[in-house]
Structure 1
Amino acid sequence: MELLFRIRAESDEMPEAVRRVAELIIGDPAEAARSTIVDLAERSGTSTATVTRLCRALGFGGYSELRVALATETGRAERAHWDTDIGQEILPGDNLDRVLNVVASSDIRLIQETASQLDVATVEQVARVLTTAGRVVLFGVSSSAAVASEMECRLQRIRIPCWSRSDAHTALTDAALLTKGDVAIGISHSGRTREVVEVLAEAGSHGATTVAVTSHPRSPLAEVAELVLTTSSRETTFRADGFAAIHSQLLVLDVVYVAVAQQTHERTKEAFDLTARAVESHRLPTNGRGPGKADQ
């Protein structure tokens, strides 16, 4: 859902009146698609001029174009997600079957939304600089730190010199030593985590290529990055935006990782074979037939 993703991601940066219109559309896009410009202005407590300002900020000539885009997108979403649209609220008394369905539904839709809006051209650019990087530093805090650590493991396995950091001081000192040909990747759902912004800015000031992974393409983190990979997030009860964004972040970075592996196919295959043999003896026998193949 590319349009709704854009509206959601950019709404924080909009003027207050325009943001009210945006929030109304996000809350019920199908109803917005059925509404006239006057209806939408009245329901948001704004004016038709404000609605038009939103349309033009999103690249539309007027409200009629926005309505068509909303109708197309919501219609496609209803067809694609009718079987998973069970709501996001989890109540204290809900049984675990419903909890499982809500969480799974949310994550499935999150992955689909992330995939639909991800710019594959940017993914290819990021993969290209990673394949030749002298040094790669990933930085995130809280839940984003776990994502950075996972990407570190994957890239190191295919011989990309990569380190993840979760401590701001360590990350800043690493960033200060980066130079042209190196890469710094900052991960932050909000794009407003001060430490992540500072690390990326420091790396960029020394000539390193900077990459932001964020759900907000107009955030401070995106502004200091050369390349921006956008993620998505869907809250459910007990899982706020930052935690909900983990699967989206992993998907985006997994696509980057696979793209790097494609571009370094022979080197990657050799690395897999070598590392698989190195840990093979640490796997338990399978049905008495000896060690199984090491995890890839």
Structure 2
Amino acid sequence: MGIAEYENKDNSLNVTDDAKRHFDEDGCIINRCFDFRGLLSDSELQKVHRTVENPELVKHQYGRPDKKGKEPKLVLWQHPGNDVTGMVARSRKVAETCQELLGGEVYHYHTKLITKEPYIGGTFEWHQDYGYWYKYGCLFPDMMTVFVALDDCNKENGCLQVLKGSHKCGRIDHLIVAEQTGADVERVQEIEKVCDLIHVELKAGDALFFHCNVLHTSSDNTSGNQRRALVIAYNRASNDPGPHEKHPGYTPLHTVENSAIASCENFSDFSGKDFWAKQPQA
């Protein structure tokens, strides 16, 4: 069995009891829409592309080498801002969906732009997001991630892989692997025996909503096509650890109507986003 999929025909997401049940049981759900292809429409996707290709954003990019020395590239920012990517993170169809799935007010924890370049884009080791967010002072796993495909994601270019239902295993010990934080390998091998491995192949504009304890990985990009994703993390307001050296504390999330993505013309003013410089993993 794969991951439950839900359509977004009216440019809004209503978290049904069935969707919530799948999220609680499987740890993740896919949003697709066959009317305008995905969480993001073609016109919204074009605006996001224009924004993430801006040199003023790209200059903050850094790599995280895997065991083979290949590098996936990242740009990370702490606050959503008012550019097109900020409108995506603040949109009701993203933020309020997370709020409903987590059962309470959420705030923007951070966003990453992840790029796997053709042939040289590297692997992300098996990990849970909460495997290191726990170390940042977050007491409860009341957190989640929205993986928004900006390009088609498939097995050849290193799509996301998840162990369905693995969030029920709880937090697993994590260690430094190359320059990445990876889950205990022996534990993952045991979990692989009982949880289905799903290759999450997405079309550009589709999104995967997943719990912070879901084990996930992605292989290197062996194709001639780049693979980019906007990866937006949210935390329950009640789980705020306060200011931390890695991430700021709770900041109220000012949501916007879904139409704000299409109407936004800010492709270059990234003030207030608070970009990360590359730091050692911990």
TM-score normalised over the length of structure 1:
0.26
Higher strand fraction (1 or 2): 2
Q: Which has the larger radius of gyration?
A: 1
TM-score normalised over the length of structure 2:
0.27
Higher relative contact order (CA 8 A, sep 6+): 2
